[in-house]
């Protein structure tokens, strides 16, 4: 009987310990997805920044530059925070909200130019896709 009780304790401890490591594994995967998506977002914002500052001379160049300048700094900050692997979900959500608003303002500004800014349209679509991927990564595993 003592052997059965000992076996039960060992099995129960293994199951409880396995749950904690599965939770940690899930959190590590969550953070890896955010890191990957935020890397892509930084890449796309940087490409748009370079286009707006170095090549684009069309309408609203100054307005777009005024949006993309702080956006690139915030995107890099968010990426470094997400890459650190220690920020809780709530902090990631809080930090992402103003960044997301600036991204949407930039995308709306570029979309409004339409055919007047053809060199910016494709990079804007890539940034929009990166934003969608980041939204998906952030919401992955949400229970609320």
Is 5 within the bounds of a domain?
no
Is 23 within the bounds of a domain?
no
Is 2 within the bounds of a domain?
no
Domain boundaries, position 106: 30-139
pLDDT for res 30: 84
Is 6 within the bounds of a domain?
no
How distant, in Å, are the alpha carbons of 8, 21, 60, 102, 106 from that of 120?
Answer: 64, 45, 12, 16, 11
Residue 58 sits in a domain whose CATH number is 1.20.120.230
Tally the domains of the chain.
1
Residues 6+ apart with CB under 8 A from 117: 56, 58, 59, 60, 110
Give the model confidence (pLDDT) of 37-93 as tens digits: 999 999 999 999 999 999 898 889 999 999 999 999 999 999 999 888 788 888 999
> pTM, whole model, 2 decimals?
0.78
d(CA 41, CA 14): 40
- Asked if residues 144 and 76 have their Cβ atoms less than 8 Å apart, the reply is no
């Amino acid at each position: 009987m003592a052997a059965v009780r000992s076996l039960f304790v060992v099995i129960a401890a293994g199951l409880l310990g396995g749950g904690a490591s599965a939770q940690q594994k899930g959190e590590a995967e969550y953070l890896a997805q955010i890191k990957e998506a935020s890397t892509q977002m930084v890449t796309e914002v940087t490409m748009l920044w370079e286009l707006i500052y170095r090549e684009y001379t069309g309408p609203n160049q100054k307005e777009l530059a005024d949006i993309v300048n702080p956006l690139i700094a915030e995107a890099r900050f968010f990426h470094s925070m997400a890459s650190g692997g220690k920020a809780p979900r709530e902090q990631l959500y809080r930090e992402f909200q103003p960044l997301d608003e600036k991204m949407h303002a930039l995308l709306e500004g570029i979309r409004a130019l339409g055919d007047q800014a053809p060199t910016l349209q494709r990079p804007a679509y890539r940034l929009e896709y990166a934003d969608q991927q980041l939204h998906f990564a952030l919401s992955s595993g949400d229970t609320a």
